[in-house]
Chain A
Amino acid sequence: MRPDPQKMLQWIKPSPPTDKELECMKLLQPGDYEIYTEKLNNFLLESKEVFLKLGVSSMLRSGDLVTGIYTPTGDMVAAWCGTYLHAVVGQIPIKYIAETWINEPTVGCKDGDIFYLSDPLYGGIHNCDQIVVMPVFNDGELIAWTNAAVHQPETGACEPGGMPLTAKTRHDEGMLLSPIKIGENFKLREDLVEMCVNLISRAPRMQAIDMRARLSAADRLRGRLVTLAQEKGNDFVKGLFRRIIIEAEEGTRHRIKEWNDGYYRGVTFVDIVGEKHRLVRNFLTLHKEGDQLTWDFTGTSPETDSPQHCMPHALAANVAIHLMSYSFHDLPVSAGIFAPMEWIVPEGCMFNPHFEAAQSNSAPSCHGAMTLGNICMSKLMFDSPQRELVAAATGNTGVGVLVSGTNQWGVPISDFLAFGLNTEGHGARLDMDGVDAYGFSHCPTGRAPDIEDIENEFQFFNLVAKLSRDSGGFGKYRGGSGTEVIYVVNYVDYALYNSHVKGSKIRNCMGLFGGYPPPTLPGIEVKNTNIWEKLKRGDKDIPTGAVQLISERTIQGDYEIGSIFKKVHIMKNGDLWVIFSGGGGGYGDVLERDPGMVMEDLRKEVISRWTAENIYHLAYDHETLEMDEEKTKQLRQKEREDRISRGMTWDAFEKEWSQLRPAEEILEYYGSWPDGRKTREIIRM
């Protein structure tokens, strides 16, 4: 029986310590906690390396993965992150297995067993995220669990790529595994591996290899924990694990208590529902009182007949990425962090849909909520000892560019092009610019794959891969730049391509304290090109960027400029397209940006001349690029005066603003205007 969504949400919090665990904590001598916590981190690092070296799919190779250590009752003790969200939800299937299968005679749990799952209804994120779980026994006692998880970019769904935009229910999403025992005696059962490979026949090689990579990582970690228990004893391990969880909880409570009590709110908007451009909103009220945080998502748009949903536990896990990489980054990556937190996610909203709902786009559906967590926490932390952690939102575009077909080696593939995914811009901070092309919104440590590797693995030529000018939100400190990539279909007659990238109409990334949000992202395709002839001739006018491509049009072909979000379609040999990864949000008023930093951006071509002059109000010599400080001061003072003269009083603003409303068509899935309440029932086949 599937676990109840509210129960799964509670399962991300730690279980209360047992008397035995508290007793075992006394076995730790001074220095043991520090030494053995670090030892666990080394085990995790090693298992991550094993994972990284054995797998083949692009997100795996980019390091967008996790390996984790959990108590016998399933509480997270430590994890290599990687994908923080997977570490958090990793607790749920273990708690489910512990509650359901251990004492079930037809299943049971013994040394050498291997469990496997991918279904969000049992604790995963979405159908693509496959998780292996292994019990750790020493001297016949269950002392821990290990796991290894990574996104598998093919699931046998109704479209290639595992995240079908046309999915109306979970039955359109391909393989969904509830936790099953997929191996015994430390070996995978080949009949069950074959079942999975058969279900994922668009990319069987990746499935077969990556399953083994997951298992190898989890088993390496298991082996290290057994050695530790043999050296120090099972009770020592129990005491160490509980101490880590308690340290994290106490550290979290202490920190929260120092912050100002109150309500912190934010709203973001997403421009895609299923295959359509439609508006939905995410709303967060973060309540801080004493040493407690309550995350209330009431006001978020209702569920739809699209795959842009997630379960409440997945929402919490995605918001936790910011918590674990910023607010509590120096505490153990453990369940203790979640002890002082409550989550309110109303039934029927897009973050808590009916169990039959499609949710293959679960992770991208959380990007707006991730921005909200980031922004509300920054507003909460400004007047606190954690002020240095205040930052605008990261890009949060989720550059899901999926390709499929047969590659130049004759191998069927269905995978992400992970360069854009792992090169979003970082949010600007209160004392510095955001990092350019910093990583992946779900995985701060993710790294863009090498271009040569991409061209070797896939049937594409990379004409351009570089930072995208003017892509970070402007501000006193600017958001990190995103990137732009131009892909050309190479070697083969055709390839299939689709894109889940959002933000062509409105971005779900926010600036902070007057910093601007980053720009929207158009989709650009050029078909029937003469690119190969031009390259063969050695033409000098090959474009080196997206703007040059569409402005100068030196490549002949049929230009299409539309949404960056694309349904699956065919691209022929020589056809090309542009993918942008989003820049991060800006911080603070543009008029306070150090003119010297604007000049530096200009020299590096991170911003355009138009932006330097019209946004930052910079005066400079166009020939020598020397700044005129006095004139800049005057221009900025003039802009301040212009603001005061064009600004309206609140009452005048309200009078004008309240008359406006978006077109009815784009509000099809929004819910009631403007508060996003449910207005209709969704009937699923």
Chain B
Amino acid sequence: MGTKRQITEYLDIDLEKELWCCNRCGYVLISARENYKKGCLVYIRKDLNTIYNSPVKGPFGFAPDPTWAMLVEFYCPGCGTMVENEMLPPGHPVTYDIELDIDKLKEKHLLSGTDKQAKK
């Protein structure tokens, strides 16, 4: 694991290099000070019947109405793991969902007890 911290099911942060990495294959996504989604491959699932095979077709069924919602899927470019997804109205900005205080995180895990004392 080295200096990596597992932050979500599929994402680590390499604290020394300040990078988001895939927890499954180690692929480096992007700077830990950025939205990790920008380092993923992104797929817009417009037809949600491909997930929710609705026996009812038309504006009301078991799949969201595509004029109301689409599913944005984020994949690891290295191994194709689906890191996260978001159900969004078409065109709604993707959420910057995890913005960690990287300096504090490094301080918490990289600095020795003496260093932490000195910093205080």
Spot the interface stretch: A178-186, A197-205, A501-509. A501-509
CB–CB A260/B68 < 8 A:
no
CB-nearest residue of chain B to A289: B101
CB–CB A653/B42 < 8 A:
yes
- 18 other A-B residue contacts (CB within 8 Å) besides A506-B65, A588-B9: A260-B100, A262-B105, A265-B95, A267-B88, A514-B10, A519-B63, A520-B61, A589-B10, A592-B81, A610-B53, A639-B80, A640-B79, A640-B80, A648-B44, A649-B42, A650-B38, A660-B91, A661-B90
What per-residue 1/0 map shows which CB atoms of A637-663 lie under 8 Å from chain B?
Answer: 001111110111110110011111111
Measuring CB to CB, which residues of chain A are less than 8 angstroms from any residue of chain B? Answer: 260-267, 269, 271, 279, 281, 289, 376, 379, 382-383, 430, 470, 474, 476, 504-507, 510-514, 516-517, 519-523, 547, 550-551, 561-564, 587-592, 608, 610-611, 614-615, 639-644, 646-650, 652-653, 656-663, 666, 674
Given contacts A383-B7, A519-B63, A662-B68, A470 and B52 within 8 Å (CB-CB): yes
CB–CB B43/A647 < 8 A:
yes
CB–CB A520/B62 < 8 A:
yes
B-side interface size class? 35 or more
Bound: A512/B10 CA distance, A: 11
Judge if B77 is at the interface, Cβ distance under 8 Å: yes
Give the distance to chain B from A221, nearest Cβ to Cβ, in Å.
42
- Tally the A-B contacts, defined by beta carbons under 8 Å: 200
13 contacts between A and B (CB under 8 A): A260-B7, A269-B89, A376-B97, A514-B9, A514-B82, A514-B85, A516-B51, A589-B82, A648-B41, A652-B42, A662-B89, A663-B67, A674-B92
CB–CB B98/A264 < 8 A:
yes
CB-nearest residue of chain B to A588: B9
Bound: A520/B98 CA distance, A: 27
**Which residues of A sit under 8 angstroms from B83, Cβ to Cβ?**
513-514
Given contacts A266-B95, A271-B68, A506-B68, A611 and B80 within 8 Å (CB-CB): no
What per-residue 1/0 map shows which CB atoms of B94-112 lie under 8 Å from chain A?
Answer: 1111111100110010000
Given contacts A506-B65, A517-B87, A260 and B80 within 8 Å (CB-CB): no
Bound: A265/B95 CA distance, A: 7
**Which residues of A sit under 8 angstroms from B3, Cβ to Cβ?**
none
CB-nearest residue of chain B to A509: B87
CB–CB A648/B68 < 8 A:
no
CB–CB A261/B100 < 8 A:
yes
Bound: A656/B43 CA distance, A: 11
**Which residues of B sit under 8 angstroms from A269, Cβ to Cβ?**
68-69, 87-89
CB-nearest residue of chain A to B12: A383
Give the distance to chain A from B111, nearest Cβ to Cβ, in Å.
15
CB-nearest residue of chain B to A387: B6
CB–CB A648/B97 < 8 A:
no
Give the distance to chain A from B7, nearest Cβ to Cβ, in Å.
5
CB–CB B53/A653 < 8 A:
no
Bound: A379/B92 CA distance, A: 21
Give the distance to chain B from A100, nearest Cβ to Cβ, in Å.
43
CB–CB B64/A505 < 8 A:
yes
**Which residues of B sit under 8 angstroms from A279, Cβ to Cβ?**
68, 89
Judge if B20 is at the interface, Cβ distance under 8 Å: no
Judge if B58 is at the interface, Cβ distance under 8 Å: yes
CB-nearest residue of chain A to B108: A260
CB–CB B98/A591 < 8 A:
no
Bound: A328/B83 CA distance, A: 27
Q: Which of B55, B70, B77, B84 contacts A513 (CB 8 A)?
A: B84
**Which residues of A sit under 8 angstroms from B71, Cβ to Cβ?**
516-517
Bound: A18/B64 CA distance, A: 54
Q: Which of B43, B58, B91, B94 contacts A659 (CB 8 A)?
A: B91
Q: For window 17-41 of chain B, which residues contact chain A by CB distance below 8 Å?
A: 37-41
**Which residues of B sit under 8 angstroms from A610, Cβ to Cβ?**
53
CB–CB B97/A519 < 8 A:
no
CB–CB A647/B87 < 8 A:
no
Bound: A504/B42 CA distance, A: 26
CB-nearest residue of chain B to A258: B108
CB–CB A265/B99 < 8 A:
yes
Judge if B2 is at the interface, Cβ distance under 8 Å: no
Bound: A672/B47 CA distance, A: 26
CB–CB A261/B105 < 8 A:
yes
CB–CB A674/B43 < 8 A:
no
In the A-B complex, the 3 residue pairs with the smallest Cβ-Cβ separation, listed nearest first, are A647-B41, A640-B80, A660-B91
Q: Which of A383, A474, A522, A657 contacts B56 (CB 8 A)?
A: A522
Interface centre among B44, B52, B82, B84, by most chain A C-beta atoms within 10 angstroms, is: B82
Given contacts A279-B68, A648-B41, A666-B68, A506 and B87 within 8 Å (CB-CB): yes
Q: Which of B43, B44, B81 contacts A514 (CB 8 A)?
A: B81
CB-nearest residue of chain B to A376: B97
CB–CB B68/A643 < 8 A:
no
Give the distance to chain A from B1, nearest Cβ to Cβ, in Å.
13
**Which residues of A sit under 8 angstroms from B105, Cβ to Cβ?**
260-262
**Which residues of B sit under 8 angstroms from A660, Cβ to Cβ?**
70, 90-91
Bound: A642/B50 CA distance, A: 14
CB–CB B99/A262 < 8 A:
yes
Given contacts A517-B87, A561-B56, A383 and B5 within 8 Å (CB-CB): yes
Bound: A590/B81 CA distance, A: 9
